[in-house]
Amino acid sequence: FRNKNPITVELACGRGEYTTGLALLFPERNFIGVDIKGERIWKGSTLAVEQNLNNVAFLRTPILLIENFFSAGEIDEIWITFPDPRPRKRDIKRRLTSPRYLEIYKRLLKPGSFVRLKTDNTGLFLYTLEEIQARQDVHDLGFTDNLYSSEYRGECFDIKTKYEQQFASEGETIKYLRFKF
């Protein structure tokens, strides 16, 4: 970016709706969408170019490798928006809110920075909430199992991903939580 503006990272960004949506709202910040599949981020990167968003970038990498791209304490905020819930027991360690991922986020975030999760999946939400509440290094935890009817709605800026729109239209409630290490 060639500036020292704060960096927000959207993990499992898919089409980059949050990355580009936040970049439009906050031109004084930098936003990086991370996903493993290039065809997913193509849409967001195309939109960023079309809208001349100079504060947006995309990174194609497995999230387990993001420490190769960011220094300790470099990230100001992390968004995890509608990740694969990995519902099978054998995939728990692959959930983006499992302990091994949380430890990575803790190292990369500046002290006092938020991690934010939005999901329609009740199982992932409850798993994450349980993991966070069991930790001794977490504070400022806020959560709701119905984002649109909660005090936290404003924190999400009414940016909706493709999956959020789809699941909400099917009657699913959107769950949200945020916390700091």
Tens-place pLDDT, residues 105-118: 999 999 999 999 99
C-alpha pair distances (Å), 6 with each of 21, 37, 65, 109, 137? 16, 25, 21, 11, 23
Q: Is 84 assigned a catalytic role?
A: yes
Has this prediction a pTM greater than 0.85?
Answer: yes
- The one catalytic residue in 35, 76, 84, 137 is 84
pLDDT class of 163 with cuts at 50, 70, 90: confident
pLDDT, tens digit, for every residue of 69-101?
Answer: 999 999 999 999 999 999 999 999 999 999 999
Task: Tell me how far apart the alpha carbons of residues 27 and 6 are, in angstroms, rounded to a whole number.
Answer: 11
**17-25 vs 38-50: helix axis angle to the nearest 10?**
20
pLDDT of 150: 97
Cβ distance 128 to 97 under 8 Å? yes
pLDDT class of 162 with cuts at 50, 70, 90: confident
pLDDT, tens digit, for every residue of 24-55?
Answer: 999 999 999 999 999 889 999 999 999 999 99
Determine the distance from the C-alpha atom of residue 101 to the mean position of all C-alpha atoms in its chain, rounded to a whole number. Answer: 12
Task: Tell me how far apart the alpha carbons of residues 57 and 175 are, in angstroms, rounded to a whole number.
Answer: 27
